[in-house]
Structure 1
């Protein structure tokens, strides 16, 4: 392998694949090609031929263009640049925004059909209140993580690489982030620089470990305290969107405010608060999070609900302990927002052993969601309904909120 690297081949692009690349075939072999659109004919450069079953390639020239192709929203990621010099993080930026959502819909529904054994006609919804800018779908990112090269230069990594690419602009970022992003500065000795613009207070530029600082994020009329480097949804309207989606997903006929309700991978308590706000101050809910700093903040953020508490623990171990103790959860509602890799079999099995009445699964990866939906189905839970949201315009990422109920 390796003799084909750098070679250029013509490809007919047929479909979209998970991960932001498109599907083509060359002499019977699958080729995953970046910076293309289904229906196009492109000239592509092979970047990886190490696998026998498939290659990877980057588009270098569009020979027959899709009607959905647009000038890239970020010149630093355009095919006008050599593939190795293209900034990563906006892999759908050359595609009309509505068609991006159609491609994401296809990946989600196809994953659920093939891996989750579920047919669904879910659409990918745009986010209300997106800023009006010169390019639709830009200006939403409230957090920016820049890498630092050996010479101190900052920038994003190149697509599918750890090579830092200097850039002049960051169009996906909010105006506050763009205004202070230190794109022309050097940070010798640092490994990364974070730019953070919370919804309350001043924005921050952080390099190195630094001391812990607490910031405030406002969702509706509620404030959440968290560490400045702590996890928070990146899209400026994501927290409100997911709050409303989780409230929508819970079946009130199956909800018992006195049950052992759980918010797993709960962070600083955003989704636990969504449950409490819908069902009242007497709601009993425990949020479980492995990050002790986040748990400390969750305790304060949930203080008005007398039945709320925050526990620092790994989710799998916490659930195993509940099973060992013989906990009764037949009337409970469980919200889970796992990492991109999904919940996985150990968590699914322990939840099924506990047998809650309903599950609300917040997913940022269609394949992981589909796999877990299949695992839950094997344990007696069916997908009742699902919504999907375009929380990451001009990237391949999509967020979904799924309701699963016990048969």
Structure 2
């Protein structure tokens, strides 16, 4: 089978890295956008390795009771996989179940790699390490809102050769323009919407405790002459000639 082929898969578990586990004829398939217990139709994205394949959900055939519309509309299962921004892997899962699954991943790692036979772990809301319960409405301190949003005080966006600004698509260096960043604080999201005119590279948005949002520009560094990336950069770019002009995200 090749990337682009579709498989109907039964999802059995969660794995490190925000992906979920299924099997096809004995081979492990790591699936993005699923939930354990679901049956999904998934598009293969990587079949290069003998040990495992990777795939993205394109349709949910038998949904989990814990599934919800993705908190980031741009990353919802209704969007073609290649156009979904990465960075909100569990956004399609009820918040309580997200914490159950994350605890499972953490406990498994402690047992398998740390030799801890019975891990005693808890998963608390962001900004609530003391386990004080619901964090209420988010604020600029990075406390998580009751819906699990608005807690990121640092976001890295990328600028491609055509000036597009946004997060990368999952497991890709392709920039996805999106009008919202629901995991980020409202202040960071507002600044992100105003960005334009940057050369290719990375733009970090950081909100310190004292307030305000810092914009840290990290232009792409030239590749050594003769490298594959350098050879591609020297090739005719077509619309990429507009790289320095930027675009509103």
TM-score by length of 2: 0.78
Q: Deviations over 1:16-65 (max 9, x none)?
A: 01111000011111111000000000000111111112111000000000
- Which position in structure 2 is the counterpart of 1:206? 216
Partner of 1:123: 122
Work out whether 1:26 is the aligned partner of 2:37. no
Deviation at residue 79 of structure 1 after TM alignment: 1.0
Residues 69/201 of structure 1: CA separation in 2 closer, same or farther (3 Å cut): closer
> Mapping of 1:231-242 within 5 angstroms?
none
Residue equivalent to 1:93: 91
Equivalent residues of 2:103, 2:121 under 8 A apart: yes
What is the rounded CA distance, in whole Å, between the counterparts of 1:135 and 1:156 in structure 2? 24
In the other structure, the counterpart of 1:280 is none
Tell me the secondary structure at the aligned position of residue 203 of structure 2. Answer: strand
3-state SS of 1:125 partner: coil
Structure 2, gaps ≥5 residues long: 139-144, 220-249
Are 1:189 and 2:199 an aligned pair? yes
Q: Indicate if the aligned counterparts of 1:154 and 1:187 stay in contact, CA closer than 8 A.
A: no
The structure with more radius of gyration = 1
- For 2:189, which of 146, 153, 178 is the aligned residue? 178
- After TM superposition, give the deviation of residue 82 of structure 1 in Å: 0.7
Give 5+ residue unaligned stretches, structure 1. Answer: 210-407
Which residue pairs with 1:169 in the alignment?
180
What corresponds to 1:9 in structure 2?
Answer: 7
Deviation at 1:194, TM superposition (A): 1.8
- Deviation of 1:204 after TM superposition, in Å, equals 2.1
Higher helix share: 1
Partners of 2:162 and 2:195 in 1: how far apart? 11
Retained in 2: the 8 A contact 1:190–1:207?
no
- Counterparts in 2 of 1:198 and 1:108: CA distance versus 1, 3 Å: same
Question: Does the Cα contact within 8 Å between 1:131 and 1:140 map onto a contact in 2?
Answer: no
- Secondary structure of the residue that 1:103 maps to in structure 2? helix
Task: List per-residue Cα deviations over 1:229-268 (Å, max 9, x = no partner).
Answer: xxxxxxxxxxxxxxxxxxxxxxxxxxxxxxxxxxxxxxxx
Please give the secondary structure, in 1, of the residue aligned with 2:109: helix
Q: In the aligned structure 2, how far is the partner of 1:115 from the partner of 1:144?
A: 30
Give distance in 1, aligned partners of 2:18 and 2:211: 35
1:286-329 CA distance string (max 9 Å, x none): xxxxxxxxxxxxxxxxxxxxxxxxxxxxxxxxxxxxxxxxxxxx
Find the aligned partners of 1:121 and 1:46 in 2 and give their Cα distance: 36
Secondary structure of the residue aligned to 1:112 is helix
Q: Any conservation in 1 of the 2:136–2:146 contact (CA below 8 Å)?
A: no
Mapping for residues 245-394 of structure 1, pairs under 5 Å: none
* Count of residue pairs the alignment pairs up: 206
* Aligned with residue 103 of structure 2, among 102, 105, 108: 105
Question: 2:5–2:44: 8 Å Cα contact kept in structure 1?
Answer: yes
CA deviation profile, 1:334-365 (whole Å, cap 9, x unmatched): xxxxxxxxxxxxxxxxxxxxxxxxxxxxxxxx
Tell me the CA shift for residue 151 of structure 1.
1.1
